[in-house]
Amino acid sequence: MRTLLTITLFGACLANFAQVNLDRALVLTSVDSSQRSIEGLGAALQDDALVTVHDAQTGTYHWGQAGGTSAAITLALQPVCSAYVNGLVLRFMPMVSASGPVTLNVDGLGPEPIYRADGHFANAGQLQPGSIAEVVYADSAFFLRSPTSEKCPTGFLQANSSLCFMRNDTVNVSLFTAAKWCYDRGASLCTWDEYIFACTNLQAQMEGMFDDWEWTDDTSDHTHTGVQVGRWSCRSERSWVARENPNNYARVRCCYHVK
């Protein structure tokens, strides 16, 4: 047996508001399709609340306000996210440039790592101010769905249409740590050709030049050495021991390739 519930609200000058709880399905049966609707629904503020077509189309519930740091991004949703679940899709615009080992903490649920779709850390050009990031949650991590940026990320100079060169030298480490440091940021150590090209053409805009040796992506395996460059000029070059030891350290300046 079907129970028919008819609710009619009348109002003249004052708006009428009502909260109705039904213990069974609500069936709209009017022959006029324009009458088979529920109007005036507010924003969904609970997990079991109805979502309007308007809010679904605008992506309101997937958009978050970003904060935090370059290594630990925070996100605030409205309504608040109650739990991480597989398939959770979120969009935000980073406040600061971030890459490499970086986490996302949504509404205080705890930090989870952000990876590219291939399982590697986010590229240097993927999380930066002015670019919208879209992530999906799966198996205790967030995975980026947004494409790699076609412009140089913060801290890099445009050497040509496809090559970005880091403006300043950075950490002082071994060759192997240097290679991983750049890789974790979606970049790589520069090859000899890339270094010479960028150094020659961008020298006036670069910082930290010619004050220390810098690693390039080149080794001489038979002598267990790596190639260091840039000590006194763009063409300064030497082979140096690649073993892990503070005496073998040099500076890191990464190259980044845009699509």
Q: How many domains does the chain have?
A: 2
Which phi and psi angles does 214 have, rounded to 5°? -130, 145
- 161 shares a domain with 140: no
- 165 shares a domain with 134: no
- 184 shares a domain with 110: no
- 192 shares a domain with 101: no
Asked whether residue 17 is domain-assigned, the answer is: no
Asked whether residue 50 is domain-assigned, the answer is: no
Please give the sequence-ordered ranges of beta strands (E in DSSP) within the chain, or none if there are none.
65-68, 72-76, 89-92, 98-100, 103-106, 111-115, 122-127, 133-137, 142-144, 156-158, 163-166, 172-173, 188-189, 214-220, 225-229, 237-241, 250-251, 254-257
- CA angle 44/138/123 to nearest 5° reads 105
- 230 shares a domain with 204: yes
Structural domain harbouring 125: 62-144
Final residue in a domain of this structure, among 144, 178, 205? 144
Asked whether residue 41 is domain-assigned, the answer is: no
Looking up residue 225, the CATH number of its domain turns out to be 3.10.100.10
State the pairing for strand pair 254-257/163-166: antiparallel
- 137 shares a domain with 71: yes
| Other beta carbons within 10 Å of 112 | 17
Asked whether residue 226 is domain-assigned, the answer is: yes
State what percent of residues in the chain have pLDDT above 70.
80
pLDDT digits (tens, 9 = 90+) for 20-29: 677 777 777 8
Asked whether residue 120 is domain-assigned, the answer is: yes
The low-confidence residues of the chain, meaning pLDDT below 50, are 1-16
Asked whether residue 209 is domain-assigned, the answer is: yes
3-state secondary structure of 197: helix
Asked whether residue 240 is domain-assigned, the answer is: yes
pLDDT digits (tens, 9 = 90+) for 70-117: 889 999 998 899 999 999 999 999 998 887 789 999 999 999 999 988
Final residue in a domain of this structure, among 96, 123, 144? 144
Provide the pLDDT for residue 24.
76
- 180 shares a domain with 117: no
